[in-house]
A and B are shown apart, each in its own frame.
Chain A
Amino acid sequence: MEWETVIGLEVHAQLKTRSKIFSGAPTAYGAAANTQANVVDAALPGVLPVLNGEAVRMAARLGLAIGATVHKRSVFARKNYFYPDLPKGYQISQYEHPIVERGQLTITTASGEKIIGITRAHLEEDAGKSLHEDMGGFTGIDLNRAGTPLLEIVSEPDMRSAAEAVAYLKTLHTLVRYLEICDGNMQEGSFRCDANVSVRPLGETRLGTRAELKNINSFRFVERAIEYEVRRQIALLSSGGQVRQETRLYDSVRDETRSMRSKEEANDYRYFPDPDLPTLLLTEAFLAEVKDAMPELPDAKRRRFGAQYGLSLYDAGVLTASRELAQYYEEAVMAAGGEPKLVANWVAGELAARLNEEGLDIVSAKVTAQALAGLVRRVADGTVSGKMAKDVFEAMWAGEGDADAIIAARGLRQISDDSAIEEVVKQVIAANPKQLAQYQAGEEKVFTFFVGQTMKASRGKANPAKVNEILKRLLTP
């Protein structure tokens, strides 16, 4: 039987506010335990939550960016459950009346573009952290994270493969960073993902029973966790078994998912409107202000890059993966006075590889956009070959100066002068009579031998295009 996979994703994006959603405590990551939890976060009796306006603004910004309805009325509700990392005994969230509903995101995979629906996005508070190791049989509670603003973004079950799920996540990840509402740091838990996964026979329109996968903290693990879960469910159904609706934890070390708790019993949160928080009302003026402050969005930027710089949509996507990278690219093109494709090759090629190797972000690149443009100009005008330019780039990265200084200091100037190259080629031919005879007898692959020898004799400085041209002329009897 052929099976179809159905995936819906819930993303928790930590909003980049300075203070918490309902208290004035700071939100910085990595502080000493409980130094960033005040009386509101610790839920002392008598305290009252006061909503952070910036968190509301950020939620509205996402809503407008995904073409959703940003409701002028939304309501905070209490989600009741007992767990020590949430000392109130309930989480303040939004339930029946979320701030954002019905948006969409366009994703691109190998099979083209696809629109993924976004059901809703709502504001809520994060819980604290539980530490189970080395606590002498107890659990340690750190409330620093308690009350950090979260935007929970819930997709429709529109994805049909792990690859689509990853593409959706990456698109959303790029978007929240463009909007400057979330830093996107997955290791620190700023961008977390739960995946609802089910399978059904191809052609069936009803949804199968789903499992909710938790604890997935990288794009790679999302893909692997979903693939494992799909295999597990298909094997189960194929052998006459049934999928249980439950929460499963992904274990990246063993590359498997395992049952965490049965959803049916845990799922009685008894939501009700929080009497401490009146209805959240947004004005037309507030929404207009948010709209006016909207930056160019990733999808629009990608299409503009394609049209304006003559790049493929794939390359444009790579270069617009972050706002900072796109800015670097545009600065380099401007400084180089054109050459958009050449600049694109260098930014997505050599520069990206180097950043990746050293685990650096584009903003800490050791070659500035202006410096890279200086090198690109020398490649474009033929001063250095592409191969020599790579050496120059390495030297620039090592801090040896700008492109022109390095080219001068190392005597790397490419030889493009016909007579000088002819001189070298003649010497090479004279020194290799055997290969010459072979070539003239029709063994064309010997040609590359001559190219190599000429480049070697010129210590890599001869213009390769010229070398080819002159060799062809002089080798022909």
Chain B
Amino acid sequence: MNAEEVERVAHLARLGLNQEERGAYAQDLSRILDLVSQMNAVATDGVEPMTHPDEAGLRLRPDAVSGEIDRNRLLAIAPKTRDGLYLVPKVIE
């Protein structure tokens, strides 16, 4: 993985990396990819991919409104609010 690829991934994850960090991450990530690629040597034809180790399946919740909503407590955590809205730097598509 080169510094350019690291920069792209970092941007997607909204991480700011300096020159030195980019180089270090490029090395670390490359080693991780090498490790993962060792697994490619194993024959997996006909093996169904496992996304979760727990095969008990997802627990479903009944469709009922539950729990408290304390809007003021949640708004109090935010840096800036107005009329019950969270304010963020202007985003326009």
Contact = CB atoms under 8 A, between A and B. Distances in A.
Interface of A: 17-19, 23-26, 32-39, 42, 44, 50-56, 75, 80, 82-84, 97, 130-132, 135-143, 249, 260-261, 268, 270, 273, 275, 277-281
- The DSSP consensus for interface residues of chain A is loop
Contacts of B92: 132, 139
B71 A140 contact: no
B80 A138 contact: yes
A19 B88 contact: no
Nearest to B72: A34
Contacts of A135: 82, 85, 87, 90
A140 B87 contact: yes
B38 interface: no
A17 B63 contact: yes
B32 interface: no
A18 B84 contact: no
- The DSSP consensus for interface residues of chain B is loop
Interface string B20-33: 00000000000000
Contacts of A39: 74
A278 B74 CA distance: 29
B34 interface: no
B74 A37 contact: yes
B69 A35 contact: yes
B44 interface: no
A34 B61 contact: no
A278 B58 contact: yes
Tell me which of B61, B63, B82 has the highest count of chain A C-beta atoms within 10 A of its own C-beta: B63
B88 A84 contact: yes
Nearest to B66: A24
Contacts of B74: 34, 37, 39, 42, 44
Contacts of B88: 84, 138-139, 141
Given A84-B91, A132-B92, A24 B85 contact: no
Given A34-B84, A82-B14, A135-B82, A53 B90 contact: no
19 contacts: A19-B64, A24-B61, A24-B66, A37-B69, A51-B59, A53-B63, A54-B62, A132-B90, A135-B87, A136-B82, A138-B82, A138-B87, A139-B88, A139-B92, A140-B86, A142-B85, A260-B93, A278-B56, A281-B58
A139 B58 contact: no
A52 B60 contact: yes
A44 to B, nearest CB: 8
Nearest to A138: B87
B69 A25 contact: yes
Contacts of B85: 33-34, 131, 135, 140-142
